[in-house]
Amino acid sequence: MRIFSYLFVCFAYSSLQAQSVQWASKVVGMSSEYTQGSGQQYRAVQVLGKPNKLPQAESGASAWRASSPNAGEEWLKVSFETPTAVRQVAIGENFGGGCIDKVFVYDTQGNEYQIYKSKNTTSERNAGMFRVWLPQLSTYKVAAVKVVLDTKLVNGWNEIDAIGISASENPVEAQINVAKNVPKELKKENLGPNVNSKANEVAPVISPDGHTIYFTRYDHPGNLRAKEDYDVWYAEEKNGVWQYAKNMGSPINNLQENSICYISPDDRTALLMNIYHPDGALSKGVSVSHKNRNGWSFPQQLGLQNYVNEHSFSGFYISPNGKVMVLSLQDANTLGGSDLYVSFLQTDGKWSSPTNMGVSINTADDEYTPFLATDNQTLYFTSNGRSGYGEMDIYVSRRLDDTWKKWSEPENLGPAFNTFDFEAHFTIPASGAYAYFCSSENSLGEFDIFRVKLPEPIRPNPTVILKGTVIDQLTKRPLQAQVIVEDTEQKQTPQVLDYDPEVGDFKMILDTKKQYNLTAQHKGYQASGMTIDLSQENQYREIRREIVLTPIEIGKKITLNTIRFAQSKFDLLPSSLPELDRIAQMMTENADMEILIEGHTDNVGDFNANVQLSKDRVEEVKRYLISKNIEQARIQTKGYGPTRPLAPNTTEENRKVNRRVEFTILKK
């Protein structure tokens, strides 16, 4: 063993400077580790990687602690992926600082060098980054570091957050991974007395269109039980003003603790904390309620397979297409406390067993209150297992693939959102314009709901809200129908919902940079559709469409708006097939039905070639229907080329209208 003189040992915080530091990558050995926690809590592996608890000094499960306090000598040895010459060794003491007794380093040959020995019999101090400086850059490459503690020096638990080595002259600091270019201060706007009161308003959930906010109210005279009761309330925004909040009433609320955690894009499906029982009791789990003509249905237990939660808190949020659910829970597979999990909707309507979302998101501490933005990629959540500002901070991460286990490194939203207190329940509309959250700072009473403009760097990718109605072509009145949205590349699962005009518009979330087929169908009517072209969209907006359904009648001509062909060819594009499948289904259900398919082109190019192209295209449609077991004799075709335009061929927009396939029922 070689011993250096201890020329300079530094324990301090200084201003953040550019630094190059390598954090430990492997545990070589330890004297003991705490094993009474859940999962990997307080285990030696928690010392690996960059600090999880500093610069805020507090105890946490994402740090190493020995098996028992005040036991005397304890030690931990770690190695580094890339051995390097060092100027300093940095040891993060997040709790019970002051018991580091010796520090050793090891070169690539295993030679040991003692670089620090404590001279104090008692050295209790504030937690922080403890640095051992070598007199000069080491002449050997450091491959491992061993830290020896004398836990009798500081009463209680002693925890080590991280161990790093650096050749830099700048002191190694623990840094918070703050989202870039986010202002440190933002103006918080209280939603006002129509929403907030002297009671507690917490756990807000904003509707995707931003016009309705749902929240939980505690100890309010308007609750079903005026004292010590939690009820779900909602408020609507009209002309930029939040209207007076209303209690959602029964069956959403009863005499127990009620809370909402999700609202669907069409405001018709809500997830509610706990399982509702007919006798009014609640038990741990999640329930779903649907809005219909008579109001909200009695909450039914969500079919979530193998759901177990040992944590006192839980959270649930469903993706905009209704196919993926992110939830927080604690079970045998968690890294420590509550972790974020993912579940997928199965063909039988049940949700798959939750799968842990992995170490890129979860820590040995707690992660909960997940909020999945409408882009289906940007996730906001609360954690106390990462470097932050307070008791619980809000972070943002973006999904990197379809496994739902690979995510970008979570970024802290910064001091404009996170304080020394408990921050959670972050919710934003599809526009990404504002973030809604609860806070007790400058409130009207206890916790209130606030909003703040969301800086561009932490906004989700833009999406579009599609709203609309379905109309009967003869009566001009709204008509109940099934509405279907399919992306033309068929890379996404179709969105299907039941439109009921008595409940309100249909609403869906669509990604930008894509094209969609929008279709409505109702028994006794010819399915009708249109193309929604968002391929050039790069900003949030709301669009409105009206789908007109025509009763199945002999002689009624309908344009098949979603039928497309390859450029100047008669090959059907895949996006055409769903509408043709619906025609085949209709003809199968009406065995005597006979139809006429007519093709049209614009006037660009050779006249005879256009006529032939129109004939070839409708023949291709016929061949496809025949492949679906429709008899050839029931299908007639005609191609007119450019001879029957609906609009002058003077603009590209008009030429698009003229390039069409039409459908007429000849017999039913």
pLDDT digits (tens, 9 = 90+) for 213-267: 999 999 999 999 878 789 999 999 999 999 999 999 999 999 999 999 999 999 9
For residue 161, pLDDT over 90 is answered with: yes
Assign residue 63 a region (left: φ > 0; alpha: ψ between -120 and 50; beta: otherwise).
beta
Tell me if residue 655 falls in helix, strand or coil.
Answer: helix
Sign of CA dihedral 431, 339, 55, 78: negative
Sign of CA dihedral 112, 118, 123, 128: negative
CA angle at residue 556 from 554 to 559, to 5 degrees? Answer: 140
User: pTM of the entire structure?
Assistant: 0.88
CA distance 79 to 101: 19
Q: Are 192 and 441 in contact (CB under 8 A)?
A: no
CA distance 375 to 379: 9
Give the pLDDT confidence of 565-576 residue by residue, as tens digits.
988 899 999 888
HEC string for 552-577: CCCCCEEECCCCCECCCCCCECHHHH
Q: Nearest Cα to 544, choosing from 475, 470, 652? A: 470
Longest Cα separation, the chain:
101
For residue 121, what pLDDT band results from cuts at 50, 70 and 90?
low
Specify the pLDDT at position 561. Answer: 86
For residue 4, pLDDT over 50 is answered with: no
Specify the pLDDT at position 15. Answer: 35
Q: Are 459 and 432 in contact (CB under 8 A)?
A: yes
Does a cis peptide bond (omega within 30 degrees of 0) precede residue 354?
no
> What are residue 398's DSSP bridge partners?
378
For residue 10, what pLDDT band results from cuts at 50, 70 and 90?
very low
Give the pLDDT confidence of 608-625 residue by residue, as tens digits.
999 999 999 999 999 999
CA distance 342 to 35: 27
Specify the pLDDT at position 375. Answer: 95
Angle between helices 607-627 and 577-589 (to 10 degrees): 60
Tell me if residue 233 falls in helix, strand or coil.
Answer: strand
Higher pLDDT pick, 558 / 472: 472
Amino acid 510 reads: L
Amino acid 427 reads: T
DSSP state of 258: -
For residue 641, what pLDDT band results from cuts at 50, 70 and 90?
very high
Which DSSP helix (H) or strand (E) runs through 633? none
Which DSSP helix (H) or strand (E) runs through 10? strand 8-11
Span 546-560, average pLDDT: 90
Q: How far is CA 419 from CA 390, 391, 395, 620, in A?
A: 5, 8, 13, 64
For residue 3, pLDDT over 50 is answered with: no
Q: Which two tokens stand for residue 502?
A: 């008595």
Only one residue has tokens 């830099």, namely 168
DSSP 191-259: --TTT--SSEEEEEEE-TTSSEEEEEEES-TTSSSSSS-EEEEEEEEETTEEPPPEE--TTT--SSB--
For residue 649, pLDDT over 80 is answered with: yes
Span 372-400, average pLDDT: 95
Specify the pLDDT at position 512. Answer: 95
For residue 127, what pLDDT band results from cuts at 50, 70 and 90?
confident
Q: Which of 49-63, 130-144, 303-317 has the highest mean pLDDT?
A: 130-144
Only one residue has tokens 């609507």, namely 236
CA distance 413 to 397: 10
Specify the pLDDT at position 18. Answer: 43
Q: Which two tokens stand for residue 383?
A: 């954690």
Tell me if residue 150 falls in helix, strand or coil.
Answer: strand
Q: Which two tokens stand for residue 622?
A: 């016929």
Specify the pLDDT at position 6. Answer: 36
Only one residue has tokens 């972070």, namely 395
For residue 606, pLDDT over 90 is answered with: yes
CA distance 237 to 122: 61
State the pairing for strand pair 463-472/541-551: parallel
Class of residue 279 by CB neighbours under 10 A (exposed 0-12, middle 13-18, buried 19+): exposed
Q: Nearest Cα to 315, choosing from 325, 301, 305, 304? A: 325
For residue 19, what pLDDT band results from cuts at 50, 70 and 90?
low
Specify the pLDDT at position 69. Answer: 94
Q: Give the chain's mean pLDDT.
A: 92
Give the pLDDT confidence of 271-318 residue by residue, as tens digits.
999 999 999 999 999 999 999 999 999 999 999 999 999 988 889 999
Amino acid 349 reads: G
Specify the pLDDT at position 229. Answer: 87
Strands lying side by side in the sheet with 112-117:
2-3, 112-117, 100-107, 142-150, 73-84, 26-30
DSSP 588-623: HHSTT-EEEEEEE--SSS-HHHHHHHHHHHHHHHHH
Amino acid 279 reads: D
For residue 329, pLDDT over 70 is answered with: yes
Q: How far is CA 286 from CA 42, 151, 270, in A?
A: 31, 45, 10
Class of residue 363 by CB neighbours under 10 A (exposed 0-12, middle 13-18, buried 19+): buried
CA 369 to chain centre: 11
Q: Which of 176-180, 492-496, 652-656 has the highest mean pLDDT?
A: 176-180
Q: Which two tokens stand for residue 599?
A: 């093709």
